[in-house]
Structure 1
Amino acid sequence: MAKIQGLAARTAALRMLDAVLRRGETLDLAEGQFAKGLTPSDRGLARAIAGETLRWLVDLDALIDSATKDVLPDDAKPRMVLRMMLAQVFRLATPPHAVIATGLELLSGGPRRLAHGVFSTLVKRGAALPPVPTLPAAVASRWGERAGPIAAALAEPPPLDLALKNWKETQRWVAELGGVSLAPGHVRLARGTAVERLAGFQQGEWWVQDFAASLPARLLGEGNGRRVLDLCAAPGGKMLQLAAAGWQVTALDKSVKRLDRLVENLDRTGLAAEVVAADALAWEPTRQFEAILLDAPCTATGTCRRNPDVLHRVHARQIAEMAELQERLLERAARWLAPGGTLVYAVCSLEPEEGERHPKPEGLLPAPIRAEELPAGLLPDSEGGLRTDPGMLPDAGGLDGFFVARWRAPPA
């Protein structure tokens, strides 16, 4: 069994999918647990199989149900293996014989004939997935009229975005890396690029950061030596932006493990920040800050292009829990602003409860985002907030879903 080429990757993918769909774990966490020890190529294959299965899950199930007499339970192992087998054929262009050889081994001692029969029927029938993934019904209902464009953006994984340490060198890096730029300080490359091998990585000239994720820090402008608090800062992309823009940064996060990665990024880029390991709900600063960036913990549904697990494991309960936590963090952050200081709130969520529906922090004044502060193709809403979603900027390759709002403390 262990000698079958590619079986280890499929076994890991099956375990990752079980962790996501049955236990509600994140795909990243499941990959770290079950793909550990695999070769880089096998680990990449396991992630690709699991990711494409989750991205197209509703449509894969529809195909399976069209070829079975009795409906297989959602959590039945044959259904999960068939999902993987079909995802490999239709999304990863894996030859059917290789899919059968590895897929049926996952059902050792189980209903191999059933899986083989369903798979062969669908392949011989010339079955195919639709051009656009079908969202789970609950997700489509939550996202309303935005659901269609977002689903279209999920058809392919996203490109690779880089944030530059020196905005003045944007055109240099566009030319050297062979990418495009959507704004100063940004370069976009085709997906599948090996990041560590790109020019400028070892020298710390840039870091990986989705274009939408770079927008909140941009709205604080140049620091000119002023103090900024980056709350929930790890893994540190926004902290690096702020440090590169001349802010004196205090970066706080309660995860020591994630802060280790943040410190690695500081070391690689040569940028500086004060790093604090603490829970923002318990920590108290010794001074006030001219600016605060709260990139709050959230359901991360806005990252569904790269993390399709959020389509299946995020439900109303998680959304409500996150919204409550965000309000508590906003209340605390508002107290730490110096007179006239600016607070930017951001979440990589598509859920209004985590964004537009949050009440204004007590004691702060609106500081509406202006159209001229945003890259071409993006506009603030009527209240001066910014909403992005994966269906926006389709001709440029899209972007993650974010909500961003800005307020100011009254002057002294």
Structure 2
Amino acid sequence: MASEGLAARMAAVGLLGAVLGEGRLMAQVLADPQGPLAGLPPGDRARAQRLALAVLRHVEPADQVLAPHLRKSPPRLVRDAMRLAVVEIALGGAAHGAVNAAVEIVRRGKRTAPFAGLVNAVLRKVPADPFAGLPPQRMPRWLRQPLVHAYGRDGVTAMEAVQAMTPPLDLTLRAGAEAPEGAVLPTGTLRLEEKGQVSALPGYAAGGWWVQDAAAALAVGLLAPQAGERVLDLCAAPGGKTLQLAAAGAAVTAVDLSEPRMARLRENLSRCGLAADLITADALEWQPDQAFDAVLLDAPCSATGTIRRHPDLPFVKDGSELPALVELQARLLDRALGMVRPGGRVVFCTCSLLPDEGEGQLAAALARHPGLRVERVALPGVDEAWWTAEGGLRLRPDLWADRGGMDGFFMVRLGL
């Protein structure tokens, strides 16, 4: 008889195999109708995803716990099942259930069944607090090295500590809307520690709020849209900033290349009773009929600032895409500057920790465009230390670490 939660644990091991073994992004695997979650009920799907993400945040320390008991590396599925058990124990799960499930998962595979005894023997030796004294998982060398250069070793270690934590859920609220109970951050974002099913939370059906990390929500505050202004949201999907702009009363045009992601934005606009003109197009080719009062560009980037929520990224990316991304960001920023009226403003942002995708882009843009100026705007709850000397806003995962951190972002407002 299968132990309780076995289906979700088996699916979690399948997700780990897709990410760690096949090099696929978690989002791609979750969207695969034939993937490890196929046929699972919603509760098991959600649990499998939570378990897999937890393991991805702790692969390195889990392997350190297992290494003394393994003379050679077992097959990947066996190792992933053991990693899952170790992480469950470390996070306070019942050791008995975690060990039995790992043994059963291994026993069910034709090629892995002979390892069931090994799994049982090794996991019985795992201490009750397996990660005690171990440092948090380190970022890969291609990312860690430039971050140490930019922020120092202590800063990077602090980021890694936050990335090892399960992130809270952040909501952007509409004025006067019903909302779940949570802590309001200094910047106005509502933060929930216990998530549950998002669509079942108070105020969801009425469109009173949407999910959006506290750091991401600051970009619209920096743009400071006014009611009636014509505002362009470039690279808009999945649309949290579009919703903010529309809720502020702006006449919003949202442009994005991905039709599936735009469909999600369309659904959220409908749920929230908000309106925007949605255009599926390549931002480098699309041409508006007239200039906008303001443009918000959240450019495609390495997404290295979102590892706390997407711990699969360090295992899938290797930094090879960075030169092309940096070039694309510069081209998109030039396009954005060309779509705003004289006297208007552009906010450029990336959810990256790498200076080449933030501070470096600002310096290059100022050199390319004589007369372009940086504009600072007072933002409630934003610490003075978060601003760079050049006037950009540098956000890092270890800011508000005692509250659960935030995504890493660079954002700057430019005036013409």
1:288 and 1:338 in contact (8 A); partners too: yes
Rounded Cα–Cα distance in structure 2 between residues aligned with 1:16 and 1:6: 15
Cα deviation code 1:242-265 (max 9, x no counterpart): 111121100011111111111111
Map 1:214-363 to 2 at 5 A.
Answer: 214-358=217-361, 359-360=364-365, 362-363=368-369
Partner of 1:110: 111
Contact 1:195 1:201 in 2 (8 A): yes
- Aligned-partner residue type, residue 16 of structure 2: L
Q: Deviations over 1:135-170 (max 9, x none)?
A: 14414323212311111112321111111122xx4x
Give the deviation of 1:234 after TM superposition: 0.9
Over 3 Å counting, the alpha-carbon distance change for 1:106 and 1:282 in structure 2 is: farther
Deviations 1:337-374 (A, max 9, x none): 1101111011111122211222216336122435x325
1:396 to 394, 403, 406: 403
Following TM superposition, by how much is the alpha carbon of 1:5 offset from its aligned partner in structure 2, in angstroms?
A: 4.6
Corresponding residue for residue 120 of structure 1: 121
**Alignment check: 8 A CA contact 1:220 1:344 kept:** yes
SS at match of 1:128: coil
- Equivalent position of 2:394 in the other structure: 387
Counterpart code for 2:49: R
**Aligned-residue offset at 1:119:** 5.2
1:375 maps to what in 2? 381
When residues 212 and 376 of structure 1 are mapped into structure 2, their CA distance, relative to the original with a 3 A threshold, is same
Q: What do the CA deviations read for 1:22-73 (whole angstroms, capped 9, x no partner)?
A: 3332212212322132111211221122111110011111222221123x17
Alignment partner of 2:49 out of 44, 47, 55: 47
What does residue 211 of structure 2 align with? Answer: 208
Query: What CA distance in whole angstroms lies between the structure 2 residues aligned with 1:305 and 1:210?
Result: 11
* 1:16 aligned partner, one-letter code: L
Structure 1 segments, 4+ long, off by >6 Å, are none
Aligned position for 1:59: 61
Counterpart for residue 153 of structure 1: 162
Which of 84-93 and 295-304 deviates more?
Answer: 84-93
Distance 1:51 1:310 in 2: 11
**Contact map agreement 1:136 1:312 (CA 8 A) in 2:** no
Q: Pick the aligned partner of 1:140 from 138, 144, 147.
A: 144
- Name the SS of the counterpart of 2:343 in structure 1: strand
Query: Within 2, Cα distance between the matches of 1:155 and 1:83?
Result: 15
Aligned counterpart, 2:5:
6
Equivalent position amino acid for 1:12 in 2:
A
Alignment deviations for residues 182-230 of structure 1 (CA, whole Å, 9 cap, x no partner): 2464222223233222222211111111110101111111323111110
- The CA distance in 2 between the partners of 1:81 and 1:183, in whole Å, is 41
Query: Displacement of 1:109 after TM fit?
Result: 2.5
The answer to whether the 8 Å contact 1:298/1:349 transfers is yes
* Native 8 Å contact 2:54 2:166 kept in 1: no
What is the CA–CA distance in structure 2 between the aligned matches of 1:114 and 1:323, rounded to whole Å? 46
The size of the alignment, in residue pairs, is 399
Partner amino acid, structure 2, of 1:162: L
Q: Distance in 2 between matches of 1:258 and 1:240?
A: 14
Give the conservation status (yes or no) of the 8 Å contact 1:227–1:249: yes
TM-score, length-scaled by structure 1: 0.89
State the identity %.
38
Tell me if structure 2 keeps the 8 A contact 1:100–1:116. Answer: no
Q: 1:243 to 1:101 in 2, by over 3 A?
A: closer
Q: Secondary structure at the match of 1:291?
A: strand
CA RMSD, aligned part only? Answer: 2.4
Q: Are the structure 2 counterparts of residues 300 and 184 from structure 1 closer, same or farther at C-alpha, using a change threshold of 3 Å?
A: closer
Query: 1: distance between equivalents of 2:328 and 2:23?
Result: 20
1:85, distance to aligned residue in structure 2 (A): 2.5
- Distance in 1 (alpha carbons) for counterparts of 2:26 and 2:183: 29
Specify the code of the residue in structure 2 equivalent to 1:177.
Answer: P
Aligned to 2:95: 95
In structure 2, how many angstroms separate the alpha carbons of the residues matched to 1:182 and 1:49? 27
Mapped to 2, the partners of 1:256 and 1:345 lie a distance apart of 23
C-alpha displacement of 1:9: 2.1
Q: Is residue 39 of structure 2 the alignment partner of residue 19 of structure 1?
A: no
Q: Distance in 2 between matches of 1:32 and 1:5?
A: 26
